Amino acid sequence: MARPVIAIVGRPNVGKSTIFNRIVGDRLAIVEDKPGVTRDRLYGTGEWNGIAFNIVDTGGIEIDGEDEIMKSVRMQAELAIEEADVIIFMADAKAGLTHSDEEVGQMLFRSRKPIVLAINKVDNAGRMDEVYEFYGLGFGEPIAISGSHGMGIGDLLDAAVSKLPEIEDVEYEDDVIRVALIGRPNVGKSSLVNALLGEERVIVSNVAGTTRDAIDTPFERDGQKYVLIDTAGMRKRGKVYESTEKYSVMRAMKAIERADVALILINGEEGIIEQDKHIAGYAHEAGKASIFVVNKWDVVEKDEKTMQAFSQTIRDHFLFMSYAPIVYLSALTKSRLHKLLPVVNHVSEQHALRIQTHLLNDIVGDAVAYNPPPTDKGKRLKINYVTQVATKPPTIVIFVNEPEMMHFSYERYLENKIRAAFNFEGTPLRLFTRRKSDED
């Protein structure tokens, strides 16, 4: 199910990234006391009182100069208005209420989106008096917080979560493969949708997706039912979206969560850019089956080594997704298009693959016999047994005597041995180490 989205908006240097890090529980954003710092990670997931959500830090837009700051803040606000279910509007108690705060506040007020007003840097009780002037923004009672001390974060999340809408997902039959087309703008998502559906004569009606704007298109090919979750037609034209390409990841997040298989489109003509990594990384972290689809291959000047070289480039840039197959095609000319759906079927099967416990233990037992775990201060990790506890993605629990002795390199060794035996092509593999108990 797609998670609702909370966006953090505010002028530069009010502490958005610090609050973002507090909520996601990890230092995903770089915190630097300098306005306009560009960050790579703008999104994360959080949970509060049993409610899961995506959270977006809108502070990562590059600023060319002081004159551009307010324009950047307006762009952030506009994106948050467009994408978020709830907006956390942050201001700075030390700086007081500024003209920039008022201007952003007016934009957000007109949006009619649920707004939670948070005043950061209230580091002690003496600063509480500085919060009162923010009542004038018209968003009700401001919530005093301190990102550096972690004060007030619970109150902030209580308020934000209480305003989130309930999202009902469209239910499909178990045999339907849900396919999300993701990628930065201009990689050909719309063209690929049209190419896939253009050959199909049995098209069921379009269903308005529950991710607020996404279009689900069911279709059937060779007896297999699919649903294309298309983000391609969702991007508005205009300077805001052309200037903030990074935010295509916000769209991709919503589609990925509802998918079984993610098609990560790469522009074969332009090659790989950093944003491709961010979008692919979210599919990986979400545990989805994934395929790299290199589009516009028809316009690439090539010889007998071009495809091999491009594949190696993909492997070099996406080391964390070595399991994902690569398909080259042209959505425009439909060249090699016939190769795509068979790969979709294959990775979907691998994503749902369940291995019998005795087979898993045979493979892991052989791997341990061939390469025993290293010792640590005279103690050796002992692997008692292994079992698969879930699919989509395949999730395997390794029961051991001392979980803290499982080094990531040895865990990776075991994963490689499991993949060598059972393939799991196209899908992440989740391995967890737990202490064996008497009950186990």
Residue ranges of the annotated binding site are 10-17, 57-61, 120-123, 183-190, 230-234, 295-298
Contact 304, 333 (CB under 8 A): no
End-to-end CA separation in angstroms for the chain = 31
d(CA 354, CA 417): 16
Q: Which residues line the annotated binding site for GTP?
A: 10-17, 57-61, 120-123, 183-190, 230-234, 295-298
- Across the beta sheet with 51-57, the strand order is 43-48, 51-57, 5-9, 86-92, 115-120, 143-144
SS3 assignment for the chain:
CCCCEEEEECCCCCCHHHHHHHHHCCCCCCCCCCCCCCCCCCEEEEEECCEEEEEEEHHHCCCCCHHHHHHHHHHHHHHHHHHCCEEEEEEECCCCCCHHHHHHHHHHHHHCCCEEEEEECCCCHHHHHHHHHHHHHCCCCCEECECCCCECHHHHHHHHHHCCCCCCCCCCCCCCEEEEEECCCCCCHHHHHHHHHHCCCCECCCEECCCCCCEEEEEEECCEEEEEEECHHHCCCCHHHHHCHHHHHHHHHHHHHCCCEEEEEEECCCCCCHHHHHHHHHHHHCCCEEEEEEECHHHCCCCCCHHHHHHHHHHHHCHHHCCCCEEECCCCCCCCHHHHHHHHHHHHHHHCCCCCHHHHHHHHHHHHHHCCCCEECCEECCEEEEEEEECCCCEEEEEECCHHHCCHHHHHHHHHHHHHHHCCCCCCCEEEEEECCCCC
Structure tokens at 209: 């997706």
**CA-based nearest residue to 82, from 64, 56, 53, 48:** 56
